[in-house]
Amino acid sequence: MASETVIKKAGCFFCHHNCGLLVHVQDGKVVKVTGNPDHPASRGFICARGVNAPKWLYHPDQLKHALKRTGKRGEGKWEQIPWEQALDEIAEKLASLKEKYGPESLLVAEGTYRSDLFWARARFLNLFGNPQNIISPGVVCMCNIFAIDLALAGAMIMPDIPRSKCVVLWGANPKEARPIQWRVLKKKKEAGALKIIAVDPWITGAGKYADICLQLRPGTDGALALGWINVIITEGLYDKSFVEKWTYGFKELAERVRDYTPQKVAEITGLRPEEIIGSARLYATSESACINRGVATDQLGLNSGRVEQARVILAAITGNIDIPGGDLISNPPTEIDGKKFICESELELAEKCPVEKRGKLIGSDRFKLMSWHAWEITAPYYEKQLGISCPQLHYLQAPTPIATRQIITGKPYPIKVLITWGSNPMLWAPHTGHTFEALTHPNLELHVVLEYWLTPTAQLADYVLPAASWLERPLCTTTEGWLPIAIGGERAIEPIGDRHDDYQFWRGLGIRLGQAEYWPWESVEEVIKYRISHLQMSYEEFVNRGLLYNPGKHYTKYEKAGFATPTGKIELYSTVFEKLGYDPLPYYEEPPESPVRTPEVYEEYPFILNTGGRFMPQFHSEHRQLGIGLRERHPDPLVTMHPDTAKKHGIKEGDWVYVETRRGKIKQKAKLTEDILPNVINAEASWWFPEKEGKLPGLSGAFESNANMLTIDDPETLDPLTGGWCNRALLCKIYKAEEQSS
Ligand SMILES: Nc1nc2c(c(=O)[nH]1)N[C@H]1C(S)=C(S)[C@@H](COP(=O)(O)OP(=O)(O)OC[C@H]3O[C@@H](n4cnc5c(=O)[nH]c(N)nc54)[C@H](O)[C@@H]3O)O[C@H]1N2
Ligand SMILES: Nc1nc2c(c(=O)[nH]1)N[C@H]1C(S)=C(S)[C@@H](COP(=O)(O)OP(=O)(O)OC[C@H]3O[C@@H](n4cnc5c(=O)[nH]c(N)nc54)[C@H](O)[C@@H]3O)O[C@H]1N2
Ligand code: SF4
Ligand SMILES: [Mo]
**209 residue type, one letter:** Y
* CATH number, domain with residue 703: 2.40.40.20
Give the position, in ligand 3's atom list, of the atom nearest the Cα of 35: 3
Residue 418 confidence (pLDDT) above 70: yes
Q: Are residues 533 and 663 in the same domain?
A: no
Distance CA 415, CA 133 (A): 10
Distances (CA, A) of 47 to 15, 37, 44, 54, 473: 10, 14, 10, 13, 20
741 assigned to some structural domain: no
Q: Are residues 258 and 285 in the same domain?
A: yes
Angle separating helix axes 221-234 and 304-317, nearest 10 degrees? 20
In sequence order, what DSSP letters do the residues of 138-171 get, joined into one string?
A: GGGTTHHHHHHHHHHHSSEEEE-GGG-SEEEEES
Distance CA 255, CA 240 (A): 17
Omega of the bond leading into 697 within 30 degrees of 0 (cis): yes
> Which of helix, strand or coil describes residue 517?
helix
Distance CA 334, CA 548 (A): 11
Does the beta carbon of 201 sit less than 6 angstroms from any atom of ligand 1? yes
Mutate which of 113, 145, 173, 423 for ligand 2 pocket (most atoms within 8 A of beta carbon): 423
Nearest partner of 527 among 501, 545, 546, 492, judged by Cα: 501
Into how many domains does the chain fold? 4
CA of 710 to the centre of ligand 3 (A): 30
CA of 218 to the centre of ligand 1 (A): 13
* CATH number, domain with residue 533: 3.40.50.740
Nearest CA to ligand 3 atom 8: 19
Angle at 273 between CA 269 and CA 275, to 5 degrees: 85
CA of 421 to the centre of ligand 2 (A): 10
584 assigned to some structural domain: no
Give the position, in ligand 3's atom list, of the atom nearest the Cα of 48: 2
CA of 621 to the centre of ligand 2 (A): 6
* pLDDT tens string 354-364: 999 999 999 99
Give the position, in ligand 3's atom list, of the atom nearest the Cα of 21: 3
CA of 292 to the centre of ligand 4 (A): 14
Model confidence band, residue 550 (pLDDT cutoffs 50, 70, 90): confident
Q: What is the model's pLDDT at position 738? A: 86
* CATH number, domain with residue 181: 3.40.228.10
CB 265, CB 224: distance < 8 Å = yes
Model confidence band, residue 742 (pLDDT cutoffs 50, 70, 90): low
Residues of the chain with pLDDT > 90: what percent?
96
Give the position, in ligand 1's atom list, of the atom nearest the Cα of 174: 20
CA of 53 to the centre of ligand 3 (A): 10
Omega of the bond leading into 617 within 30 degrees of 0 (cis): yes
Model confidence band, residue 2 (pLDDT cutoffs 50, 70, 90): low
In sequence order, what DSSP letters do the residues of 554-606 get, joined into one string?
A: -S-THHHH--SSTTSSEESS-HHHHHTTS-SS------SS-TTT-HHHHHHS-
Nearest CA to ligand 1 atom 38: 171
HEC profile for 674-693? CCECCCEEEECCCCCCCCCC
Mutate which of 49, 300, 427 for ligand 2 pocket (most atoms within 8 A of beta carbon): 427
Nearest partner of 723 among 293, 295, 360, 371, judged by Cα: 371
Omega of the bond leading into 412 within 30 degrees of 0 (cis): yes
Mutate which of 228, 295, 623, 641 for ligand 1 pocket (most atoms within 8 A of beta carbon): 295
Residue 631 confidence (pLDDT) above 90: yes
Phi-psi region of 729 (alpha: psi -120 to 50; beta: other; left: phi over 0): left
Distance CA 34, CA 535 (A): 29
Give the position, in ligand 1's atom list, of the atom nearest the Cα of 617: 1
Nearest CA to ligand 1 atom 11: 177
Q: What is the model's pLDDT at position 740? A: 80
Q: What is the model's pLDDT at position 1? A: 62
Ligand lying nearest the CA atom of residue 175: 1
Q: Pocket residues for ligand 3 (CB within 6 Å)?
A: 12, 14-15, 17-19, 46-47, 49-50, 179
CB 172, CB 135: distance < 8 Å = no
Angle separating helix axes 262-269 and 273-285, nearest 10 degrees? 110
Q: Are residues 128 and 217 in the same domain?
A: no
Q: Are residues 75 and 193 in the same domain?
A: no
Q: Are residues 366 and 485 in the same domain?
A: yes
Nearest partner of 11 among 537, 548, 615, 467, judged by Cα: 548
CB 651, CB 723: distance < 8 Å = no
Ligand lying nearest the CA atom of residue 621: 2
Ligand lying nearest the CA atom of residue 47: 3
Residue 412 confidence (pLDDT) above 70: yes
**11 residue type, one letter:** G
CB 349, CB 177: distance < 8 Å = no
Q: Which structural domain, as residue segments, surrounds residue 47?
A: 6-57
Distance CA 634, CA 618 (A): 8
CA of 277 to the centre of ligand 2 (A): 38
Nearest CA to ligand 1 atom 16: 295
**733 residue type, one letter:** K
Mean pLDDT value of segment 609-634? 97
CB 683, CB 666: distance < 8 Å = yes
Mutate which of 49, 621, 640 for ligand 2 pocket (most atoms within 8 A of beta carbon): 621
Last residue of a domain, one of 14, 31, 57: 57
CB 551, CB 40: distance < 8 Å = no
Residue 453 confidence (pLDDT) above 70: yes
Phi-psi region of 76 (alpha: psi -120 to 50; beta: other; left: phi over 0): left
* pLDDT tens string 485-530: 999 999 999 999 999 999 999 999 999 999 999 999 999 999 999 9
299 assigned to some structural domain: yes
128 assigned to some structural domain: yes
136 assigned to some structural domain: yes
Q: Are residues 518 and 445 in the same domain?
A: yes
Does the beta carbon of 221 sit less than 6 angstroms from any atom of ligand 1? yes
CB 489, CB 460: distance < 8 Å = no
**Residue 292 backbone phi and psi in degrees, to 5:** -90, 105
Q: Per the confidence metrics, is the pTM higher than 0.85? A: yes
Distance CA 147, CA 478 (A): 17
Angle at 720 between CA 138 and CA 226, to 5 degrees: 95
Q: What integer best gives the mean pLDDT of the chain? A: 97
**410 residue type, one letter:** G
Distances (CA, A) of 715 to 277, 399, 628: 36, 9, 40
Phi-psi region of 520 (alpha: psi -120 to 50; beta: other; left: phi over 0): alpha
Q: Are residues 677 and 727 in the same domain?
A: yes
CB 425, CB 137: distance < 8 Å = no
Q: Are residues 726 and 693 in the same domain?
A: yes
Ligand lying nearest the CA atom of residue 685: 2
Ligand lying nearest the CA atom of residue 700: 2
* pLDDT tens string 149-169: 999 999 999 999 999 999 999
N-to-C CA span, the chain: 46
Distance CA 406, CA 206 (A): 41
Does the beta carbon of 154 sit less than 6 angstroms from any atom of ligand 1? no
Q: What is the model's pLDDT at position 393? A: 76
**554 residue type, one letter:** H
Q: What is the model's pLDDT at position 718? A: 98
CA of 287 to the centre of ligand 4 (A): 31
Distance CA 233, CA 245 (A): 17
345 assigned to some structural domain: yes
Q: Are residues 363 and 336 in the same domain?
A: yes
Nearest CA to ligand 2 atom 41: 422
Residue 331 confidence (pLDDT) above 90: yes
* CATH number, domain with residue 17: 3.30.200.210
In sequence order, what DSSP letters do the residues of 175-243 get, joined into one string?
A: HHH-HHHHHHHHHHHHTT--EEEEE-SB--TTGGG-SEEE-PPTT-HHHHHHHHHHHHHHTT-S-HHHH
Residue 622 confidence (pLDDT) above 90: yes
Q: Pocket residues for ligand 2 (CB within 6 Å)?
A: 111-112, 114-115, 137, 140-141, 295, 421-424, 427-428, 450-453, 455, 467, 502, 611-612, 620-622, 685-686, 707-708, 711, 727
Ligand lying nearest the CA atom of residue 681: 1
383 assigned to some structural domain: yes
* pLDDT tens string 370-393: 999 999 999 999 999 999 999 987
Q: What is the model's pLDDT at position 201? A: 98
591 assigned to some structural domain: no
How many CA atoms does the CB half-sphere of 670 hold within 13 Å?
25
Distance CA 731, CA 742 (A): 24
Q: Are residues 633 and 729 in the same domain?
A: yes
Bridge partners, residue 477, by sequence: 487
Residue 479 confidence (pLDDT) above 90: no
CB 174, CB 185: distance < 8 Å = yes
Q: Are residues 660 and 727 in the same domain?
A: yes
Nearest partner of 495 among 475, 521, 466, judged by Cα: 466
Q: Are residues 491 and 619 in the same domain?
A: no
CA of 619 to the centre of ligand 4 (A): 10
Distance CA 163, CA 21 (A): 26
